[in-house]
Amino acid sequence: MGVGTQQLDFAEFYRSAADECLRAVVVSIGDQDTARELVDEAFARAWASWRTVSRHPAPKAWVVRTALNASISRWRRRRREVPVADPARVADPPALSATPVGPVDPQIMAALMRLPARQRQVVALRLILDLDTARTADVLGIAPGTVMAHLGRAMAALRHDLQPELQQENRP
């Protein structure tokens, strides 16, 4: 495959996958600005390794995984600034952007951000990228049963969080 063909191939992949990948990363980390930076960088790396990535069974998952791994250059400053009484309870505090969340429903995003990070990642991969359980498990490096357990807990928590709000909205 020539470079020109590769470029067209990659451009088509980017056009078809960028929105979904960005949404998945937003769901995973909350902050849209950071998510955009991470996804852009992940796609750049995908292009740099396009011969490999293009043959990946789930290139979108590769991009999202790469974006999530790109945290290597970032301190989790928020966690260092505030002493934590019970780290387990706030291991994954809301990462909502200080900037306006734009087109995202703030209540739903807040509910998502209350989930532990791993549950958010499972939600992102299963619901946004529409990966199956096995592929999600492969991407996250966890057992399929663990994926199902995380998804089940996430759905239960979201239902618990959102049900009253949705009922409120639907009330005449």
Q: Does the footprint of another protein cover residue 46 (CB under 8 A)?
A: yes
Contact track, another protein, 5-24, x by CB under 8 A: --x--xx--xx--xx-xxx-
CA distance 49 to 36: 20
C-alpha pair distances (Å), 119 with each of 85, 87, 142: 22, 17, 12
Considering beta carbons, is residue 1 or 49 the nearer one to another protein? 49
In order, the DSSP letters of 58-115 are -HHHHHHHHHHHGGGG---HHHHHS--S-TTTSSS-----SS--TTS-HHHHHHHHTS
Contact track, another protein, 120-149, x by CB under 8 A: -x-x---xx-----------xxx-------
Considering beta carbons, is residue 55 or 77 the nearer one to another protein? 77
Contact track, another protein, 79-118, x by CB under 8 A: xxxxxx--x---xx--x------xxxx--xx--x----xx
Question: Least CB distance from residue 48 to another protein, whole Å?
Answer: 4
